[in-house]
Structure 1
Amino acid sequence: MSFEIRDPIHGFVQINEWERQIINDPVFQRLRRIKQLAWTDMVYPGAVHNRFEHSLGVMHVATRIFDAIATKEERFLKSELKYTNSGLDRDRVLLRLSCLLHDIGHSPFSHAGEGLMQTNPETGKAYKHEHYSAAVVRFALKEAIEDHPLNQNYGITAEEVAQFIEGSKPRFGRVLLWRDLLSSQLDADRADYLLRDSLHCGVTYGHFDLNRLLVTMKIGLTETGSSTLAIEDGGIHIAEALILARYQMFTQVYFQHTRRAYDHHIADALKTLLAKEQASSADIHEKEKFPAPTSIDEIKRYLLWDDWKVLGMISAGEGGEAGAILKDRKHFRCVFKTRENPTPLEIDLCDSIGSEFNRIGIRGFRDNASSSWYKVGNEDIPICNEREEDRRSVPLSSLSSLVKGLSPVFQQRIYVPIEERARAQEIINRIIKEVEA
C-alpha cells in the first residue's frame, strides 16, 4: 500500500508502509518542531517551514533523479556495473531511507545550534549534524528500519543507512554512485532547500529548472575510470543555474545581516539554557554543549531538545540576556560591514574598530559570513559528452566562465546593542577619517 503527502514544491510525495512507520515515529516527528531556517522569519515572515517537510522533499527529489538515471542508463548499469533489477531496487530503497533520515539529528533551530556540538575525541573536530543523524539511526531507529516486513525483500540494516548518511564507509562500490545524490555539489539536498527556502521566504533567488536537471544527468567516468554522476555538456547551463541560485540565496537570505544577528543570539541563549540543565551534572565532558552522539542514553537526552522546548524556556525568562533580546526583538544592530570580498584595508578597519570598542567598553560581536559557492578539484561537477559511448568527464570549472568568476564570500560585520549604536557610529566615523587622512 502506498500513501501520498501533499507538498508545496513537488506536489504529491509518495511513501510506502515502511516509510510511513518511520515518519510516524516520535523521533522523526520531532523534525516538525525544528524550523528549517531558525529565526529567518524575523526578516522573511513566511520562513516558518521545518526540517520535516524538507526531509520528505529530499527523499522525493533523490528518487526522481535515481529513477531518471536508472531508466536512461539501464544498459550501462546492467552491462558495466552488473546491476540486476533487484540490485537497483535495493539501492533505491537505501537511498530513499537515507535521504528521509539525513537531517533527523539536527539541533534546535537547525544550523544556528550546530556550533554547540561536542568535540569528537578521535578527530579533534566538532561533531556535525550528520553524525547525530547517523547516531539517531543506529540507536533509536534500528528496529523501525530492520524489523519491518517489507525489509525482508532487501535486508537493509540501520548501520548501512547510518554510514550512507555520514559518509563513513570507504568510497568504493556501486552505492557510492548514489551517495552523491545526498551529499555533493549536485545533490538532492540543496536542490530541495533552494526551491523550498525561496518559496517560503517569498524570493526568486533560489529558482532553477529541476526538470531540466533531471533530463541532462547521466553516468560519466572519472580520470581513474570509476563511475560518477555527471551532467551532459548540453546541460552546463542548468548546472550554472543551480550554483548561481545557491550563491544568491546565501548572499541575499542566509547571510542577510539581521538574520545573522538572530543566529548569534539564539546560539548564546542555547548556551545559557544548556548550562542551566548541566549545572547539577558532574560528568559533562564539555559544558554548554549538546550531549554527544555516542550512546543511546546521550541520544535520548539530545532528542529532548527542539525549538518548542527552547522557546518555552526563553518565554519563561530562562534564556538570559540573549533570550530577552530574542523575546523583545531587540537584536544587536550592524554598525560596520565590509564588502562580500573585503580588501585588506577593510579587514584592518574591522580590527581597529573591534579593538577600540573593546578598549572603551562597547559590547558587541564580530560576524564572519563566509562560504564558497563552488568547490573545484575532487568535488567539481563532472560534465561529459551527450553521446552514450563517450563517458569521459571534465570538471565544470574548466568549461564555465561563470563558475570561474564566483569568488567565495568572506564578509565581516560588527554588531552592537541598540543603545550603543549612535556612540559606536561616531567612533567608526572617526577611525575611518583617521585612516583616510
Structure 2
Amino acid sequence: MSAQEINFDGLVGPSHHHAGLATGNVASMRNRGSAANPRKAALQGLEKMLALHRRGIPQGVLPPLARPNLRLLRALGFHGSDAAVIAKAGKLEPQLLSAAYSASSMWTANAATVSPATDCADAKVHFTPANLSAKLHRSVEHPDTARLLRQIFSDATHFVVHDAIPGVAALGDEGAANHTRFARRHGEAGVHFFVYGDEAFASKQSAARRFAPRQYAEASRAVARLHQLDPARTVYARQSLAAIDAGVFHNDVIAVGHLDTLLYHQAAFDDEAKVIRTLSGACDAAGFSLNCIRVADDQLSLQDAVATYLFNSQLLCSPDGRKLMVVPAECQDHAACRRYLETLTASGGPIAEVLSFDLRESMRNGGGPACLRLRVVLDAPQAAAITSRVFLDEALYGTLADWVTRHYRDRLLPEDLRDPQLLDEIRGALHELEGILALPGFYSVD
C-alpha cells in the first residue's frame, strides 16, 4: 500500500531559553545565559513548516510538553505552593529550575524512534520514546512524550507506543537522531540504520576524550527488538570518537539520510569503509541501491560541519520526486559550506534544490532543521486514524502563529524563570493549545 513520510515538527515552547544545559552541544554551551526570544523561535519553526507544506510535503505538529516540570522540582525536595517551589528552586538551585523549565522537547528528533508498519512483524507502526538519560533536563521528558504519542496515535489497530527503555547510562537512547531508515520508496520494506557512541558491555570500552557519548549500542538493539525489525535489514554503526569530541552529540549532526540517499562526513563513523559496505549490502538485499554522498574533510572540515550544521539538514522529496535539502541559514553564510552546497545542486548533481531557513533561535541552543522534526511514515488508513488536529494546513498555521504572538514573550533570560507570572502565562497558553490541537486533557496532568 502507498504511504508517505510526514515530518512532525516540534512547536517551540514558551519557556525557550538559553541555559547551556547540554554539555557536548557546542552551540548550547556557547550561548549559555544569553537572551532568548521564544516568540521568534516558535514563529521561525512554523514558517519552515508552512513553506514545506506549500511545496506539498506533509507536515505535522507536536506540541511542547508542559513546563515547568514541577514534578521534578518536588521530587528534589522543594515544597509548598507552585510559586513557592519556583522561588525556592530559583534561589537555591537555579540550574535545576532551568532544567524544569527547559523547552528541549521542541527537538522532536529525540522524542522517539519510529518504525513504519511495513518493517514491523506485526504490521503496525511502532514508537519507542527516547529515555534521554544522558542529560537531566531531557531525561524527564519520556513519560509525557509517551502520553502525547498515545493520545495522537491512539488506534491500537495501527499503532504501538512502547514505554522508554530503562533510563540508565548503559542504556542511553536519544531517539531518531541516531536512526535512519532507507528504502526505495515509502510503503516498501526498508533498511534501518542505528548509530551509537559506545557499547556499555563491550569487552573493551573506550570513552570520548572530550565529551561522553549519549547513545549506546545496547539501547539501539533493544529498540530494534521492540519494533520487531528484521535483523537482516538492520545495521548498526559506531560514531567516531573524533566526531563526538568535535561536538557531534547525535549522528544527525554529521550524517543525514532519506529513502535511497545518505549524505555523510568522512569523520562520521568508526571504520567508515566497513559501515558503508555493510549498509550498502543490506540495501542491495532489500532491492535497491544506496546512493552514498561522502563529504571529505578538505571539502568541509569536521569543525565547520559542526559550526554550520550542514548535516542537521532535512533531505526530502517533493511530490514530483525531486530531492530537496533544507538547511539552516548558517550554511549559506559560511563560504566553504555554501560552495559545497553549490556542487550538490550543480547540473546533474544529486540534490535538485537547497532551501535555506532562518532558525537561529533553535540553532543557538544547538538544534537545526533535522532536530526539529520526527519522521513518521503512514499510509492512508493510518493517517485517517489520527483524530487530533496535528496535520498542518494554512488554517492551522494561522491559528498557531496568532496563538504564539499573543502568548509568547520576545525576551527570556534564565533569571526570568523565577517570575511567578511566567508560570501563569504558560499555563494559560497551553490550556488554549489543547483546544487548538484537539488534545483534550493533555496538559491537565501535573
> TM exceeds 0.5?
no
Greater Cα radius of gyration, structure 1 or 2: 1
Q: Which has the higher strand share?
A: 2
Q: TM-score range by the shorter chain?
A: under 0.3
The TM-score, its normalising length taken from structure 2, stands at: 0.26
Q: Which has the higher helix share?
A: 1
The TM-score, its normalising length taken from structure 1, stands at: 0.26
